[in-house]
Amino acid sequence: MQFDSFQALITMGGHGAYVWFSYATFILVILGLILATAIQRRQVIKHHRRLMRSEAQRHGSGGKTHNASGA
Amino acid sequence: MRSEPRVPVRLQEQEGGWPRAAVETVRREWLIAFRNRQDLMNPLVFFVLIVSLFPLGVSPEPEFLRQAGPGIVWVAALLSILLSLNLLFRNDYADGHLEQWVLSPQPLALLALARVAAVWVTTVLPLVLLVPVLAVMLHLSPGTGLVLVLTLLVGTPVLVLVGAIGAALTVSLRGSGVLLVLIMTPFYVPVLIFGTGAVTAAVEGASITGHLALLGAMLSLAVVLAPLAIAGALRISVSNG
Amino acid sequence: MWQWFHKLGSPKWFFGIAGRLMPWLGWSALIVLTAGVVWGLLFAPADYQQGDSYRIIFIHVPSAYLGQSLYVAMAVAGVVGLVWRMKMADTFIASATAVGAAMTFLALLTGAVWGKPTWGTWWVWDARLTSMLLLLFLYLGVMALRGAMEDPDVRARASAILVIVGVVNIPIIKYSVEWWNTLHQPATIKVTEAPSMPASMWVPLLICLLGFHLLVAWLILWRMRNDILLRERRARWVRDWVLAQ
């Protein structure tokens, strides 16, 4: 351990603000990336669910129309 | 947008092969340029406007202008080239001309090179020729002005060649003006650095041959590689439509 | 080798293997990064010149390194995508752009914050900082181009060309910026490791570098999985997978 006290660790000989700010932005950026990717994943799954639901509806309500369009 | 009737293509002629096609491309470009003089004027006016904003916005002190002048001229030239490049393939894309290019038996890269060369002569060369006038307005010494013109003569073809890659990539997109500036500006930095570096060296009485050689190296690299990238980008854009 | 290459081109295979790799990568990234950061912050000795402010190095150097190498990796993927028409190459470019841009941004920001106690100013047009700024612009350009294009095939090939042109230019940009820098401000203090760094400093730096690699690999695999799901929306296995969620 390089620091004698918790106080010393926070201040880091006057450089504490710079060091801690850097590490805080690092954590924020990484958390932001993780959050964005998690949202991306949820949206993709939602998109698929909606797609499948609408297709199921089309199949269920009008098999005939589907056949006609396919022919 | 140009409203005049288009100049017909003559790329399909069998005799002559690709040299003929290249010459025809240049000839056609000149005809179009001559018939659309306003399109030629716009980048020029823009160039002069940008340059004249600096004395108004920063300082008309001769000392400041002498120091910042070469950089201002270079940045203004860079911006007006970027803005005019947005139109480089626009009309040809709209009227299906590019598809004929892609389908023609001549190598597309070569046609692209001919096109870029013609555009440089018609839209950028006038701009360079205007620089001595601006040099006087910016209180640059005649020697500095001459070096500035020299660096622009070697450097601007690189800008047009590299920018044409971006123009070819974005030709099928609507409202691609800002996009082109966004994606191409980082590529312009080396040219800007060595172009203005040469002028700074000249002001300090140092030799400029090194800078010009580096600019020349970039030009030869761009002449060899950029047409290939332009051709690839044009193929992609045309296949999209 | 070629069989492996073919498998890599199969979205389904890649999706499965990425899913199996992800927990390993994620957890090891967390462990290694925590170890490296705690070591760097608490146990590494202070620099005799810069004091404790040099501790920013443990995130600055890895993010700068990854910001640059991810762009090169994207260019390699661009070549693979153009030559072999491999769909996974574009999936990689799509997923790596944001991560690479974030890393470059982080390197810039930590570099600026480090500059304040070292140079007494937030921003210096230092060669490294300037070329990182230009690299960030390159990333933003790729993002802008991709954002403007709708057709997936055109987007894939156009961004591949842009990234390849970019990677040809990176050495030229770097060289020109370095040359420009020596011209305009000679002899600044370099924000870099001292030539002879004691092991007590470079070992935690190496651990952080490894941790960053694991983290970035985890993030990119995750994003690639999302991208595959979106691209292969017509495939049977994708629907089965979604239903299982």
Q: Which of B169, B186, B200 sits opposite C145 (nearest CB)?
A: B169
- Give chain B's mean pLDDT: 84
C239: left (phi over 0), alpha (psi -120 to 50) or beta: alpha
Given the structure tokens 């894939």, which residue do they identify? C156
% pLDDT > 90, chain C: 39
pLDDT at C52: 77
Interface contact C41, partner A, CB < 8 A: yes
Q: Is the pLDDT of residue A53 over 70?
A: yes
Give yes or no for a contact between B230 and B115, defined as CB atoms under 8 angstroms apart.
Answer: no
Contact C177 B189 (CB under 8 A): yes
pLDDT at A34: 94
Q: How many angstroms separate the Cα of C69 from the Cα of each of C65, C66, C103, C158?
A: 6, 5, 10, 21
The length of chain C is 245
Interface contact C46, partner A, CB < 8 A: yes
What SS3 state is found at C85?
coil
Contact B184 C141 (CB under 8 A): yes
Contact C145 B179 (CB under 8 A): yes
More confident residue, C189 or B91: B91
Nearest to C77 by CA among C69, C89, C68: C89
In a mutational test of the B interface, the residue from C82, C157, C174 whose CB has the highest number of chain B CBs within 10 Å is C157
More confident residue, A29 or B1: A29
Give the residue-averaged pLDDT of B26-47: 81
Out of B226-235, C72-81, C195-204, pick the least confident.
C195-204
Q: Which of A12, A16, A48 sits opposite C242 (nearest CB)?
A: A48
User: Is B12 a member of any domain?
Assistant: no
CA pair distance B235, C124, nearest whole angstrom:
42
Q: Is the pLDDT of residue B54 over 80?
A: yes
With bands split at pLDDT 50, 70 and 90, how would you rate the model's confidence at A69? very low
pLDDT at B15: 61
B201: domain range?
Answer: 17-240
Q: Determine the Cα angle at B131 with ends B127 and B132, to 5°.
A: 140
Q: Is the pLDDT of residue B131 over 70?
A: yes
Q: Which of A15, A40, A48 sits opposite C223 (nearest CB)?
A: A40
Nearest to C153 by CA among A54, A30, B238, B210: B238
pLDDT at C196: 63
Contact C110 A22 (CB under 8 A): yes
Q: Is the pLDDT of residue C242 over 80?
A: yes
* Cα B71 versus chain centre, distance: 17
What SS3 state is found at A3?
coil
SS3 readout for chain B: CCCCCCCCCCCCCCCCHHHHHHHHHHHHHHHHHHHCHHHHHHHHHHHHHHHHHHHHHCCCCHHHHHHHHHHHHHHHHHHHHHHHHCCCCHHHHHCCHHHHHHHCCCCHHHHHHHHHHHHHHHHHHHHHHHHHHHHHHCCCCHHHHHHHHHHHHHHHHHHHHHHHHHHHHHCCCCCCHHHHHHHHHHHHHHHHHHHHHHHHHHHCCCCCHHHHHHHHHHHHHHHHHHHHHHHHHHHHHHHHC
Interface contact C192, partner B, CB < 8 A: no
Q: How far is B213 from chain C (nearest CA, A)?
A: 13
Task: Count Cβ atoms below 10 Å from residue C17 Cβ, excluding itself.
Answer: 14
With bands split at pLDDT 50, 70 and 90, how would you rate the model's confidence at C195? low
Q: Is the pLDDT of residue B229 over 80?
A: yes
pLDDT at B172: 83
Q: Which of B183, B189, B229 sits opposite C176 (nearest CB)?
A: B189
Q: Is the pLDDT of residue A65 over 70?
A: no
Give the residue-averaged pLDDT of A35-55: 89
pLDDT at C188: 43
Interface contact C114, partner A, CB < 8 A: yes
CA pair distance B12, B96, nearest whole angstrom:
15
Q: Is the pLDDT of residue C192 over 70?
A: no
DSSP state of C51: B
- Model confidence over B150-161: pLDDT tens digits? 999 999 999 999
Q: Which of C106, C222, C243 sits opposite A26 (nearest CB)?
A: C106
Give the residue-averaged pLDDT of C219-235: 89
Give yes or no for a contact between C157 and C149, defined as CB atoms under 8 angstroms apart.
Answer: no
Contact A47 C44 (CB under 8 A): no
Give the residue-averaged pLDDT of C153-164: 91
Q: How far is A16 from chain C (nearest CA, A)?
A: 7
pLDDT at A25: 92
Q: Which of B20-24, C68-72, C235-239 tops mean pLDDT?
A: C68-72
More confident residue, B241 or C223: C223
- Model confidence over C43-68: pLDDT tens digits? 877 777 777 778 888 899 899 999 99
Q: Is the pLDDT of residue B36 over 80?
A: no
Contact C219 A49 (CB under 8 A): no
- The ipTM assigned to this model is 0.84
CA pair distance B142, B148, nearest whole angstrom:
10
With bands split at pLDDT 50, 70 and 90, how would you rate the model's confidence at C184? low
Give the residue-averaged pLDDT of C201-226: 92
Interface contact C118, partner A, CB < 8 A: no
Gyration radius of chain C's alpha carbons: 20
- Model confidence over C90-100: pLDDT tens digits? 999 999 999 99
CA pair distance C77, C158, nearest whole angstrom:
13
Nearest to C167 by CA among B225, B231, B192, B168: B225
Q: Is the pLDDT of residue C83 over 70?
A: yes
Q: How many CB pairs under 8 A join B and C?
A: 77
What lies within 8 Å, CB to CB, of B193 at 6+ separation is C176, C177, C179, C180
pLDDT at C191: 47
Q: How many angstroms separate the Cα of B199 from the Cα of each of B130, B183, B220?
A: 17, 27, 21
- Model confidence over B60-81: pLDDT tens digits? 888 888 888 889 999 999 999 9
pLDDT at C126: 78
Q: Is the pLDDT of residue B99 over 90?
A: no
Q: What are phi and psi of C47, to 5 degrees?
A: -75, 140
Nearest to C109 by CA among C63, C65, C69: C63
The length of chain B is 241
Give the residue-averaged pLDDT of B36-44: 81
User: B239 contacts in C (CB within 8 Å)?
Assistant: 153-154
Nearest to B79 by CA among B48, B103, B122, B102: B48
pLDDT at B1: 42
With bands split at pLDDT 50, 70 and 90, how would you rate the model's confidence at C163? very high
Q: How far is C1 from chain A (nearest CA, A)?
A: 31
With bands split at pLDDT 50, 70 and 90, how would you rate the model's confidence at A6? confident
Contact C173 B165 (CB under 8 A): no
pLDDT at C116: 81
More confident residue, C142 or B31: C142
Q: Determine the Cα angle at B170 with ends C130 and C221, to 5°.
A: 65
Q: What is the token pair recorded at A15?
A: 């450089």
pLDDT at A66: 42
Given a contact as 3+ CB pairs under 8 Å, which chains touch C? A, B
pLDDT at C12: 86
Q: Is the pLDDT of residue A61 over 80?
A: no
User: B232 contacts in C (CB within 8 Å)?
Assistant: 82, 157, 161
Q: What is the token pair recorded at C60?
A: 């600055």
> What's the pTM?
0.86
More confident residue, B176 or A71: B176
